[in-house]
Structure 1
Amino acid sequence: MVPRARVANVANALTGVRLILVPVFLVVLFVGDGHETYWRVVAFVVFAVAVITDRFDGALARSYGMVTEFGTLADPIADKALIGAALIGLSVLGDLPWWVTVVILARELGVTVLRLVVLRRGVIPASRGGKLKTLVQAVAIGLFVLPLSGGWLTGAWVIMLAAVVLTLVTGVDYLVSAVRDSRGRSAGH
């Protein structure tokens, strides 16, 4: 019999911290008029800490046998909550066009629905492209949270546009993989 990991473990605690940091991030992002330099830097630090917890919770869970059903469910929820809150917050503040937020969130919602639809047949694992997409999104969003101007803002836009392209490409890749897998399993039965 395979031992089951306890729900109360470091990896799940990091996921819980990330979930708690989402509303903290939003509150700090909107302090004052949402454009006070000090509070934007604080919001960036909160966002960065949340992103870093995402990097470590999964690695810890896999390396030390702490994978749980709770973590498997809560981790992607925490990721999408953080990214979604940041994108919506930046769009509400007028710092990021709504089309960027809509494209990224529509892809995330679409892939989530796709994963749920094919869950009976197996899990669609995160691809290298999907992991790269998440990293580029986090860097781009972090740069938009910072009070940047001039060439720094241009650099932030280049990274954000790369994030949008990766978002679309990996979304299509997930769809193609799911269809191919579905056809392969149908042919085998």
Structure 2
Amino acid sequence: MTGAPASAAGGSGATLVPRGGKLGAAAVNQAGLWNIANILTMVRLLLVPGFVMLLLHEGGYDPVWRSFAWAAFAVAMITDVFDGHLARTYNLVTDFGKIADPIADKAIMGAALICLSSLGDLPWWITGVILFRELGITLMRFWVIRHSVIPASRGGKVKTLAQGIAVGMYVLALTGPLATLRFWVMMTAVVLTVVTGLDYVRQAVVLRRRGLAAERAAAMEAVAMATAVDMEGSAGGQCATDQVHGAAEGVVEPVVEPAAESLGEPIGEPVAERVAGGRGATEAER
């Protein structure tokens, strides 16, 4: 008895406890559809229509209702951070989360931009640039998903943060210097949106080229292996045929000659001479 627990001794009763203690263990045990990460994603999806109604209430210019809309938008942005962190930390990644999470992100941001532009608070070209970039990158991810996955870059995360801060400032009814500040924050977000979008395009092109090159190399290797197998099979068949022919010749050739040698007679002696000699011996005996 060493007094060590089973997990330390490496026994069969070892139990791995994930980070977070009981909360982590509970999260791992419920890694189905209804886990905490997916629930937060669903909450963010449900916040989209509520946010729109709050923002457009009373014509969209009531500071109080816009403050409520800002609160709903802030909750949506915070849940976006937490659901991804929980999914990665406690292995709660599901197919539903992979699809619903980016949809929820684009839905809340797109709704805010369209509503602000419809109210005249935000130029339509800004909304168009941001939405075009987000939709284009999403389609590009599907374009290269067979070859590889475009990882989220640090610039993309900074872009998302800048967009969230800028849109949140526009949702609030700000005036004076704060209104000027929010314009420059939004310009920063637009620049980051364009720059990171171009970087994603570059990554997508590189990943697709690498994937296609790898597929061609694998196809050529498979053809070479198949050809080598066929050649080995043909060589083996020819070798077997030669062995059969050699065996057949070895059986036929030594049949007559060794028998003649065993009698002490020269190989190839005419048959007539052997018959005459036999007759002479008989007459001599008589």
Same-fold status (TM-score > 0.5): yes
- SS of alignment partner, residue 32 of structure 1: helix
> What residue number does 2:105 align with?
79
Alignment of 1:14-53 (within 5 A): 14-53=40-79
The superposition leaves residues 132-178 of structure 1 with CA deviations (integer Å, 9 ceiling, x where unpaired) of 11110000000000000110011101110000000000100000011
* Greater radius of gyration (CA): 2
> What residue number does 1:12 align with?
38
Offset at 1:109?
0.7
Specify every segment of 5 or more residues in structure 1 that has no aligned partner in the other structure, as ranges.
Answer: none
- SS of alignment partner, residue 121 of structure 1: coil
Partners of 2:55 and 2:152 in 1: CA distance: 30
Q: Are 2:209 and 1:174 aligned?
A: no
Instruction: Give me the identity figure in percent.
Output: 56
What is the letter of the counterpart of residue 77 of structure 1?
I
Match of 1:89 among 115, 120, 123: 115
Question: Which piece of structure 1 moves more, 119-128 or 89-98?
Answer: 119-128
Offset at 1:4?
9.0
TM-score (norm 2): 0.64
The superposition leaves residues 26-57 of structure 1 with CA deviations (integer Å, 9 ceiling, x where unpaired) of 00000001010100111000100011000100
Q: Are 2:124 and 1:124 aligned?
A: no
Match of 2:210 among 178, 184, 189: 184
Offset at 1:187?
3.1
Partners of 1:29 and 1:137 in 2: CA distance: 18
* Paired residue total: 187
Partners of 1:153 and 1:95 in 2: CA distance: 10
Question: Which piece of structure 1 moves more, 169-178 or 124-133?
Answer: 124-133
Work out which structure has the larger RCO, using CA pairs closer than 8 Å and 6 or more positions apart in sequence. 1
Partners of 2:51 and 2:89 in 1: CA distance: 29
CA RMSD of aligned residues (A): 1.2
